[in-house]
Structure 1
Amino acid sequence: MQLIRVFSVLSLAAGGLACGPLHAHDAEHEVVARDTLKIAPGPSDTQIQFAPVPSIVDPAPIDPTLGYFVGDLGGGVHWVTEGAYSNMFLVSTHGVIVVDAPPTIGRKLLYAIGNTTHLPVTHLVYSHFHADHIGGASLFNASHPTIIAHAETLSLLSSLSPRDPLRPLPHVTFQGNYTLRVGNQTLELSYHGPNHAPGNLFMYAPAQRVALLIDVVFPGWAPFSELGISTFIPGWTAAHDVLLTFDFDVFVAGHVSRLGTKDDVLLQKKYIEDMHDSCAAAINGGFDVSAAIGPTIAANPGNTWAEFKAYLRVAAQTCADNTTSRWLGVLGAVDVFAFESAYRMIESLRVESDVLGPFGVS
């Protein structure tokens, strides 16, 4: 049975799924024009005028000559950013602990450390296995640091064939919690299940009240595409609450050129809750399904994948539009990846949280 028939039967039985129905022509035009997962050509992002970013984004003052910024967080803790990525390092009495090595910062990280201390890098901690955060790890090969990561990170890096020489395998791994002590510095590492990626760590410097969590909260900004390209959205969402249990003043987020605070975590948490509810509402009757997918069915007879993609695209666009209308000017760039993140949330609700709308138990 074609999807249009399924939706029609459900609409009649429930008194109609529509809530603010879309006309078929208008819905398809909107999807093609704004959906970056296109099945038909649309305008490129270079032709789109996005909303101005609000002052909350508050970027660090990066010296154009150096190309990076180093911030002193006190007690030997420093963070580094080149504008898009960030990481941190801790200077102890016995050596330097580096957390992550983003390749976009690259050798600038060596300069930042070298201009701060003459002590060698003795330890390198991987937040998780993604190359955009640890792809510069081989730059520290000369100092032979002890590399520490969660066991999942070792497993995933080991599974690569061929192995990536730019991401040396960790020497020390753990499952739950690990306390790293080097000289007078302490860094607490903990794992609370998969979120952005399996093995993604929470890190905390208790003496300086500094936390680090990568690819979950984007201070001042809406999350990157597809909710930070996260693999397990329920765990990613829950990570906000886990982070709030730490007694920190600032945290390093891994992206954007500013630090975060607990207020930033709470603000993004509200944004994600709003997107969650908006996407659930879209699935549960937020648009006229028959009208939305009718043109695709007519143009692609017998192509179930095309029919279902049309449904997912309109559901995601409905959620994205509703969420964006409430958050423009509150967080930076909420309109840039609104569709991609809503699409990811729609899929998460369907397969990870059992919010199935017209595809529930019949």
Structure 2
Amino acid sequence: MTRLFPARSSHASAYPGLSRRASWLMTLSTALMLMASLLAAPVQAAPAYTIDKMKDNVYRYTAGNYRSVFMVTTEGIVVTDPINPEAAASLKAALQKEFNLPIKYMIYSHNHADHTLGGEVFKAAGATVVAQRYAAEDIAWTRLPTAMPEVTFKDKMTVSLGNSWVDLEYHGPNNGRGSISMRFMPANVMYVVDWIVIGRMPYKDLQGYDIHGMIRSTREILAEPDFDLFVGGHAEKGSREDVEQYLGYIEALYTAVRDGMLAGKDLPTLQQEIRLPAYKDLKMYDAWLPLNIEGVYNTFINDSYFRFRTDIPGQEKS
């Protein structure tokens, strides 16, 4: 018989100075507390896989906190980010069961591994792999263990299938390498991963992000013909107004950090003083605002070389 504690003499107390009954109760209490702590320990849950219709023939696939989009046509299916091998296999099985159509194209949104792993699942199913050329270059150079893009483009490309098509566009640096927008037509659904997020703050301290590029690329999206629905690689779907709110936040964040640094304020001071109450309803506002500030601060230090600005109080002089 397995014991939680070493066996003791039936006449000896486990706790000197206590009666045998009191000692037994103390031992039982300790064992129950240990079991409770084990049961309360966090368990790594499997991600939830769901499919939701967005508009017409365009659907959203959710795997945990990640989202991709696929389009079903008369000639086959276009999928986007595989996310990881398990998520890709689950989606492939669901598509086969529901539609029984070939998967003709898989399009990477950008180079980051947390969106591109699992590409071999769709490649093996016969899909042609598409990516912006800088994303393809990074996948090759870093030897990322996923399907290599076969078709690449520089600025714009249209993938047509059956009676539908996807307009792909590169807007310059914004998040990772080769990150693009995808407009699914004729449904007119816009899909962007990472550099536009609806209803939630940008991720933590903006690792891998280019705040200049985020602003510029989002402005470009809003300058183009209106879309009917926006779907992101994380968080919520939304409207043009939601994207405008997001742009307002990152512009306000950029301005507040820049102006504070130009006044000679250090990072802890900026994190203590900057409040953007117009955006306090965004998810993770309290937890991630200080981290967002840090991310923008580091951009000014590392990319804009604020440490070498002679006009900023307290900065190094070169």
TM beyond 0.5: yes
Alignment of 1:133-152 (within 5 A): 133-152=115-134
Q: 1:252 aligns with which of 227, 231, 236?
A: 231
Unaligned runs of 5+ in 2: 1-44
Is contact 1:275–1:320 with CA below 8 Å preserved after alignment?
no
Tell me what 1:304 maps to: none
Tell me what 1:70 maps to: 51
Distance (Å, rounded) in 1 between the aligned partners of 2:240 and 2:168: 19
Unaligned runs of 5+ in 1: 1-63, 288-314
- Match of 1:335, SS state, is helix
1:108 positional shift: 3.0
Q: Tell me if 1:183 matches 2:162.
A: yes
| Structure 1 pair 65–316 and aligned structure 2 pair: CA distance change class (3 A) | closer
Is contact 2:82–2:115 with CA below 8 Å preserved after alignment?
yes
Aligned residue type for 1:142: A
| TM-score, with length taken from structure 2 | 0.76
Alignment of 1:190-205 (within 5 A): 190-205=169-184
Alignment of 1:341-356 (within 5 A): 341-353=292-304, 355=306, 356=309
1:142 positional shift: 2.7
Tell me what 2:96 maps to: 114
1:153-172 C-alpha deviation (Å, 9 max, x unpaired): 12111112xx233x111000
1:210-256 C-alpha deviation (Å, 9 max, x unpaired): 011110122110111223x2342211221111121342121221012
| Structure 1 pair 90–328 and aligned structure 2 pair: CA distance change class (3 A) | closer
Distance (Å, rounded) in 2 between the aligned partners of 1:215 and 1:255: 7
Alignment of 1:56-67 (within 5 A): 67=48
- Structure whose residues are more often strand by fraction: 2
Q: Tell me if 1:322 matches 2:302.
A: no
Distance (Å, rounded) in 2 between the aligned partners of 1:155 and 1:261: 33
- Match of 1:226, SS state, is coil
Aligned residue type for 2:281: V
RMSD value, Cα: 2.4
| Structure 1 pair 206–320 and aligned structure 2 pair: CA distance change class (3 A) | farther
Distance (Å, rounded) in 1 between the aligned partners of 2:167 and 2:317: 45
Tell me what 2:248 maps to: 270
Is contact 1:82–1:105 with CA below 8 Å preserved after alignment?
yes
| TM-score, with length taken from structure 1 | 0.68
| Structure 1 pair 217–318 and aligned structure 2 pair: CA distance change class (3 A) | farther
- Match of 1:225, SS state, is coil
1:281 positional shift: 2.7
Q: Tell me if 1:218 matches 2:200.
A: no
Q: Percent identity?
A: 27
Structure (1 or 2) with the larger CA radius of gyration: 2
Is contact 2:47–2:63 with CA below 8 Å preserved after alignment?
no
Aligned residues: 267
1:261-301 C-alpha deviation (Å, 9 max, x unpaired): 212211111111221122123212364xxxxxxxxxxxxxx
Distance (Å, rounded) in 2 between the aligned partners of 1:349 and 1:142: 44
Aligned residue type for 2:192: L
Tell me what 2:140 maps to: 158
- Match of 2:137, SS state, is helix
Aligned residue type for 1:81: T
| Structure 1 pair 260–353 and aligned structure 2 pair: CA distance change class (3 A) | farther
